[in-house]
A = this chain, B = another copy of it.
């Protein structure tokens, strides 16, 4: 997986373009972000009115914000939304008042452990107003009155999400989902948006066995809304990935689907396993990002979550330190390559039947085995022997890769060559074997 600077730079550039926008679970920030994505891929922008029922939930009011500040007695903005949109409590109700420091402090959020960072806080499901400030800002406030303004609106409107379906040879789908509800936070989750968008661009230009559905949705309520509106789609989703925190240089982490050993779980574990780098595969946990909804018991979809550093476990998480320096072109591109390799496994995984079940076929005669004996065996020869030995109709190529410890791509390339020589017959229905 060579890292070509051009791709990584373009991915980082998309992150940078989206960074300044103040997104939330509803509102113009999401809309504006999705319009930028439409410049990269054929994205449908869907609007779902506030008040729409979505399973146990209701699509909330639309939130928009124009300005927000705390001014001191001299009229100076000591906290300014235009300096960072993290300064406003996300989804904050409007306010326009003069308050004493004591009252103001009840509405300020800071992180004493990182005195220079602005924390990111939300209040989606309880009406509140507030500001997030650095610990230093908090400590510099004098015991005087302050003018606070949050020029926001919360009212009927809609929830906005983006959806892009790339049809393939079969209707069976691979789902790639990322959240678009975070404001100026780069790794969580502009990185996921950028990797998903660039993966879609790649797939757009390639032949595809599977159909691919990309979702750019507000976290939780967006996934729930999409699932409620698309229950007919769900049965076609055979594999899926939630992408989050895939832009920092940390090691890869993969959280398995609720099923635990679905083909997507095995494909990601294999791809990470054959890379020469530390990584970790974790068990499913019903807490995290939208895999929580896709893996709710009624759906139980084969959707895992790919990360580099794990949300909540790196200090910069949900703070102003999760910025454009925290994500790198190389890390973004590596994540894209891992996703592509996973897609390659899904696309090329097949089950074959050998035409020579009794003893090995004579590979040498067909030029499929090097002919001077006595030394070692090459990886290609070994791959061929493994493929033929397990070509009993009960083992997929991913099974072969796992059992042999050889890279899937090597297995798949050699299986094609053996099939070209008439030594393997592809079994039908290999995409729907798992349920």
Contact = CB atoms under 8 A, between A and B. Distances in A.
Interface stretch (A266-274, A329-337, A364-372, A412-420): A364-372
23 contacts: A55-B361, A56-B360, A56-B362, A57-B359, A121-B372, A121-B373, A123-B371, A125-B365, A126-B372, A228-B359, A231-B358, A286-B388, A286-B390, A292-B360, A293-B359, A293-B360, A295-B389, A297-B357, A297-B390, A299-B358, A299-B359, A300-B392, A318-B374
Given A55-B358, A56-B359, A125-B362, 6 more contacts: A286-B390, A287-B385, A296-B360, A298-B356, A299-B359, A312-B376
List the 6 closest pairs (A to B, CB-CB), nearest first: A298-B357, A286-B389, A297-B392, A126-B371, A121-B374, A298-B358
A62 B317 CA distance: 74
Please tell me how many copies of the chain the complex holds: 3
A187 interface: no
A377 interface: yes
A85 interface: no
Interface of A: 54-57, 109, 119-126, 128, 220, 223-224, 227-228, 231, 258, 286-287, 292-293, 295-300, 312, 318, 354, 356-362, 364-365, 371-377, 381-382, 385-386, 388-392
A374 B122 contact: yes
A318 to B, nearest CB: 6
Contact of A297 (B109, B228, B354): B354
B361 A56 contact: yes
A365 to B, nearest CB: 7
A313 to B, nearest CB: 11
A371 to B, nearest CB: 4
Contact of A287 (B224, B318, B358, B382): B382
B297 A362 contact: no
Nearest to A403: B283
Contact of A296 (B124, B292, B358): B358
Contacts of A312: 376
| Most chain B beta carbons < 10 A, residue from A224, A358, A388 | A358
Contact of A286 (B54, B227, B385): B385
